[in-house]
Amino acid sequence: MRRLRITLEMIKIEHTLFALPFAFLGATLAAREIPAQPASFWIWKLLWITAAMIGARSAAMTFNRIADREIDAGNPRTATRALPAGLLDLKFAVVFAIVSSSLFLLAASQLNRLTLILSPIALGSVLLYSYTKRFTALSHLILGWCLAIAPAGAWIAIQGKLTLVPLLLSLSVMLWTAGFDILYACQDYDFDRTAGLYSIPRRFGIGGALWIARAIHALMFCVLVVFFINAHLGWLGFAGVIATGALLVYQHSIVKSNDLSRLNAAFFTTNAFVSVILFVTIASDALLIGK
């Protein structure tokens, strides 16, 4: 139990909040376009979607800590993580990653045939992301792709197919994630240079990276507007889109190239609000108004 607690702390299990609302949002929007189903159908689907999300993220984060344990040991910011600090043995982490991956695959098999067929691609994406910063500065976009799987996957779990609406929502999530990951990477600018790791901040400097993050988030907002139009949402969904835009502006206003002291507030607090606000407003709109 002690090792399990340390593992859950290591992977920051509470940050599943970033992606889980997008999965629920994809499922909610997909539900508008299918015939009425009994309550047992929705309970079953939501339970397995939640299990899939927890399994995939837990596997991804644990594998990331395993793959980066030597890199983390050399970075003052991450040297106290469980594996480099010796608080957790490697064998337990490997077993936990395998169990988490198995949970994801089991959940995918319980949803429908297409989710099972696509599950190896999703799992491979979230696991192999850990190595991308060793050879490309586009790792931020690849991380975005990993989180973007959530709403599209949940849509498939309900409908067994993909349409334009979930693809637009997934693109929004991808750009949103890439933008805030660029911000987060700014704090490792010096270490990435000395360790030979790739990132947008290392390639363009902190000032340039902040402008790139702003541009990506501006594009994300534009895609979100297109998604809003194509999803045929009402005023409540529009309020969520506007609130998201305001939060993005606030996020970038508190992070300066010469002052990264408020980066954690921008990264953790603001981003948690974005996913929850979009879920609450757009899901409510879809269920109560848009339908």
Residues 105-153 pLDDT 10s: 999 999 999 999 999 999 999 999 999 999 999 999 999 999 999 999 9
Residues 185-196 pLDDT 10s: 999 999 999 999
CATH of 2-290, one of 3.20.20.70, 1.10.132.20, 1.10.357.140, 1.20.210.10: 1.10.357.140
| CA count, 13 A, side-chain hemisphere, 236 | 14
In percent, the amount of the chain with pLDDT more than 70 equals 96
Residues 7-50 pLDDT 10s: 888 877 766 667 789 999 999 999 998 888 888 999 999 999 99
pLDDT at residue 291 in the model = 47
Least Cα distance to 209 among 217, 198, 201 occurs for 201
- What value does the mean pLDDT take over residues 270-291? 83
- pLDDT surpasses 90 at 260: no
Q: Domain segments of the chain: what residues?
A: 2-290
Residue 191: Cβ within 10 Å count: 17
